[in-house]
Every structure is written in structure tokens, then in C-alpha cells.
Structure 1
Amino acid sequence: MPDPALRTAIKNGEFILAPGVFEAISALLADREGFKALYVTGYGTVASALGLPDAGLATYSDMLGRISTICERTTTPVIADADTGYGGLLNVAHTVRGYEDAGVSAIQMEDQEFPKKCGHTPNRRVVPLEDMLRKIEVAADARRSDDFLIIARTDSRTGLGLDEAIKRGKAFAKAGADVVFVESPESEDEMKRICDEIDAPLFANMVNGGRTPLLSADRLKELGFSIGIHPALGFLAMGAALQKAYADLKANGETTDAIDLYDFGKFNDLVGFPAVWEFEKKYAQV
């Protein structure tokens, strides 16, 4: 079931800072830090699970399996990327129910044409506004709990301009979206205009190396955003750390002091070995 804490935090005007997670280890580590939400990134999940780009190649089933594991192993409310809803209106309804049953607290769906692409890459195209409004209506009707939030994203800024993106954002809110997400504004002034003109809780995407300026949580809240995600932080940090570690091993034939490793004992705790050892003490024959 969705966690009501996310809706309550937004209603109370709290700012929600959410790191991107993409598989169980990243989720377990982020869950310990006390964030108000975790964001399951489609880009990172597809790259981690399939080794492929975020270009509409992952299926609903590919994503749901990973998302279900993350929700099961964490206690923090989860916001999860659902791309375009994985198909037509019936698929949208099925996706909403599946994500909600998995324990997701907020689903993010966008107005791109299929196959979709990462929101900070070129050549994205969007569906007619009326088609996306229908998806929002279906998503709102399909959810079982009002604590399950619908985040509606428009990718129209890059191809059609900011005026169109704001127009769509306003329409999304009117259609029943709980949170509006205008993807990839290109300046702080554009971000301010989004907040000034759209009367709804708003979502900011802080992508390291992306099209949007990286602002602090305090500044995002000051502008008027309700949620700020850092979807790429985890997998970019992992990529840098693994590249350095593997290169060190190849160059030296062993791991040197140049590599900072997570303590093995603490990692055992992270993944739950103490519970296994307690079980063995109680039940296993020795």
C-alpha cells in the first residue's frame, strides 16, 4: 500500500528531496539516510538491469520486478518512474494498479510518444495534449487509494517551448494530477516561471550533466517546488567508483589503499545477514 507520509508532507508544504535508486543495494543505502522519499529512476534501472539506454526498451514487467524488490526492502516512501504507462489506456490502468500493489507511493508518467527517451536527451516528441489528459483521468480512476499520487510529466519544453510546457502543466493539474513535472527547463528563470504560473505541487529534476541548472533544496523550495529528485547521483557515483576500483585491480594485480571500500561487516548488516545467523542459531543443526 502507498505510504500516506508523502501526500501529507506535500500538503503541509514540506520540501521532499529524493535520491535516485536503481537496484536493491542503492535503495538499502539511501533508505538509511532519512530522506522523505526515494526515486526509482527509469534510466538507472534500465541501465542496471539490462545494460541498455533509457529509450523505451524496458517493459512493464522489467520495471515492476525491480520496483517491487525496492519497495519490499525499504521503509521510505517510493516514487517510481513508469515512462508513458507502457502502452494505451488499458496498460496505464494496469500499470497504476501494479505499482500501487507493489507499494509505490507515487507514479510518474510522461507525455512522450513511444518509444520514449531520457528527458535530458534530444529528439523527444510528445503526444497530443488530449491523449495525455485521458491517461491522467484513467490513472486517477484506476488507483485504489488517494494516498497513491500521480505525477504527470511533460517533455514538451525542449521541442515545443516553455509556453506549451506550462500550458500542458496547467491542464495536467486540472485533469487530476497530484503533482506536475515540467521536464528539462533550461534556466533558473524558466523554473521560476513554471512555479509562478502553475498552481499545483511541482517537481524538479536535478540531473548531473543535464539541461536544467542544479539548484539546492533550499533554492528549489524558495522558487516553489515541492519535490526535487537527483536521479543520476547514485548510478553516476557507482560508475565512477567501479571504474576506479577495476582499473586499480588491473594495474596492480590487487586492491590498493587508493580504493575506498565499504566495510564488509557493515555490508553484511546492510543486506540482512544478522537475521540469517539468528535463524541458524535457532533452527539449524550444527
Structure 2
Amino acid sequence: MLYSQVTAAEKRRLFRERLNTGELLRFPGAFNPLSARLIEQKGFEGVYISGAVLSADLGLPDIGLTTLTEVAGRGKQIARMTDLPTLIDADTGFGEPMNVARTVQEMEDAGLSGMHIEDQINPKRCGHLDGKSVVDESTALKRIRAAVDARRDENFLIMARTDIAAVDGLQAAIDRAKALVDAGADAIFPEAMHSLEHFEAVVNAVDVPVLANMTEFGKSELFSAQQLADVGIRIAIWPVSMLRISMGATGRALDELNTAGHLTGKLDEMQHRADLYDLIDYEAYNHFDTSVFNFRVER
């Protein structure tokens, strides 16, 4: 009932423990708190919270327009609804190194299990668009050092994302990944890798977990979880997939409503009311107060 009974500190501890096993952890992207609960119900290992999704949820492009307050607030709403660890996209840290430090503590207070900070300049661009620019290495390292120095829970994961491969190539990404690890990054997110061999090269170059971004319609081929595991990837994210599928289905339903005037033909595509009530644990509220829930839903 209400929120997860697992504390944020315990989620982080368990996340680190499982990450250390070497298995691939699958983190589909949640676009709201309810979808995070569905991700947990379906047996995944974690929940990803995408900056692109948070921007899109506000009707904005993913170019650094969201604020720390908006991102941390939405992250808190999602993280508290699931027992799973949550990894959030913190863009460039919302400012200079001191802002990055504050961002880490806000995300800790919001109950997140980890965050990643990228090395793009402000305003940033979606990682799979052309025309990106990255900061110099010194600035990138200062962001990570500030994040590491600011955290209070040692199990809060500080992940460094680098977009430099799209600018200067794979070797530049490997060199920067090594430097980011030396600066204290707990994990590396090499954005827009073109092949499994590129992912494997980064994995072999660093001694921390590496994340693979399996976003559709981007620069990377959509590899299977097993393919990624075979080259040593430790976290895989599908950041915008669930939003894309949901918006696609919504668009088709609106077309049907326009043409047919009703949605009778779409009933088998909908989440049943009974399934929704099960997902939000409606009946548990009955044990707390029978005046809240005193009926049953027929399937």
C-alpha cells in the first residue's frame, strides 16, 4: 500500500550487490510511477528514468530545458513506487561543478539509486542526434569529482556518460572513459556506440560496469540482452521504448475514435480495470479502510 517499503539506502545496497555479480541488469525506462510498478511486476532488475522522457512528458525537446527541481521531483515520484533500484538521467548536472554536487544530494534525497552525468556542453542535445559538442576533459572530470565528493551514501551510483565517440571517434571515447573512472566514476555510459565490438572495446578498457543504451531510431543497432551480456555489458537500458509504444497505441486509439466513434474494437489492447487495480494494489487499501475499497471488479 502507498509506497515501497524498501528504504532508498537498502535499494542502493542491493543494487551494488547485484551489479557486482557480473550479470546483465535490465532497466526499461519508466514514463510515470505506474509504469515503474509494471516493470517490477514483469520481473526486470531495475527502472531507468530518461531525461528525454521527462522532457517529452512536459511537451519539450531533450535539449536541457528541464530543471533540477522538475527532474528530481519526478524521479522521486517514480522511485518511491517500486522496490527496484532506479537510475536517473541528470543530463550535464544542471550547471557548473557546484551545481553537480547539489544535484547528487537532491537525487539522493529523492530516493534514487544512481544517476549519470554527461560530458556535453550546455545546452545539450539528444545523444543520438548529429551536431553534438562535448566539453574538454578537464571540465568533464570536474563534474565527476564534484559528484563523488558530494554524495553521502557510498552506494549511490555515480555513472559518467560520454558522448565524445560521435565527435572524435571510438578511441577518444575509450580514453575519456578511462579518465572518468580515474576521477571516481563508478560506471561508464558510452553513448551512441555503433557495434557490439565498440561496446566490447569500452568494456575491456575499464574495470567498472558499462551501460548500453538500446534506444530505437538512433545510432546504435538494437542488440538483444544476451548479445550485450556476451560482450560484458552490465546494464542495458531501453529509455524511451515504453513511452513510444504507449504514445503509438494512444495515437491509434484516437484515430479509431475519430473514424468509428467508439473504442469497442480496441478493448483487447487495453489494460483491464482488474489488472490496473491489481497493479496499484487497490485491495490492500481495503485492509486499511473498508470505506475506501468495498467492491470487486469482474473480469
The TM-score normalised by the length of structure 2 is 0.90
CA 1:47–1:171 in structure 2 vs 1: closer, same or farther (change >3 Å)? same
Tell me, in whole angstroms, the C-alpha distance in 2 between the residues paired with 1:283 and 1:183.
47
Distance verdict in 2 for CA 1:253–1:99, change over 3 Å: same
The separation in 2 between residues aligned to 1:27 and 1:145, in whole angstroms, is 23
Q: Shift of residue 34 of structure 1?
A: 1.9
Contact 1:113 1:127 in 2 (8 A): yes
- CA shift, 1:272, in A, is 4.2
- How many Å apart are 1:187 and its aligned residue? 2.1
Secondary structure of 2:242's aligned partner: helix
> Whole-Å Cα distance in 1 between the matches of residues 261 and 107 of structure 2?
45
2:156 counterpart of 1:148: yes
Match of 2:202 among 185, 191, 194: 194
Spell out the pairing of 1:1-286 with structure 2 (5 A cutoff).
1-2=8-9, 3=11, 4-48=13-57, 50-259=58-267, 260-281=269-290
Structure 1 stretches of 4+ with a deviation exceeding 6 A read none
Secondary structure at 1:17 match in 2: strand
Q: What does the per-residue CA deviation read over 1:117-165, in whole Å, with 9 as the maximum and x for residues that have no partner?
A: 1111111111111111111111111111111011100011111211111
Which AA in structure 2 matches 1:131?
T
Q: CA deviation at 1:96?
A: 0.3
The aligned residue for residue 4 of structure 2 is: none
* Secondary structure of 1:103's aligned partner: coil
Aligned 8 A contact 1:248 1:256 in 2: no
Distance 1:282 1:233 in 2: 38
Which whole-Å CA distance do the structure 1 matches of 2:144 and 2:216 have between them?
Answer: 29
Instruction: Give the TM-score taking structure 1 as reference length.
Output: 0.94
Count of residue pairs brought into register by the alignment: 283
For residue 22 of structure 1, report the CA deviation from its aligned partner: 1.9
1:5 Cα offset (Å) = 1.5
Indicate conservation of the 8 Å contact 2:163/2:192, yes or no.
yes
1:233-274 Cα shifts (integer Å, max 9, x gaps): 111111111111111111111113245110012212323433
- CA–CA distance in 2 between the matches of 1:37 and 1:283? 31
AA in 2 matched with 1:208 = E
- Secondary structure at 1:186's aligned position in 2? coil
Q: What letter matches 2:28 in structure 1?
A: P
* Aligned counterpart, 2:3: none
Measured in 1, the distance between the counterparts of 2:99 and 2:248 equals 37
Whole-Å separation in 1 of the counterparts to 2:129 and 2:214: 14
Letter in 1 for 2:59: G
- CA distance in structure 1 between the aligned counterparts of 2:134 and 2:185, rounded to whole angstroms: 18
**2-structure distance, mates of 1:189, 1:283:** 55
Summarize the Cα distance change of 1:241–1:282 in structure 2 as closer, same or farther, 3 Å threshold. closer
Matched residues in 1 for 2:177 and 2:103: separation?
22
Aligned counterparts of 1:253 and 1:47: Cα–Cα separation in 2 = 28
Structure 1 residues 201, 283: CA separation in 2 closer, same or farther (over 3 Å shift)? closer
Q: Distance in 2 between matches of 1:151 and 1:283?
A: 42
Q: List gaps (5 residues or longer) in structure 1.
A: none
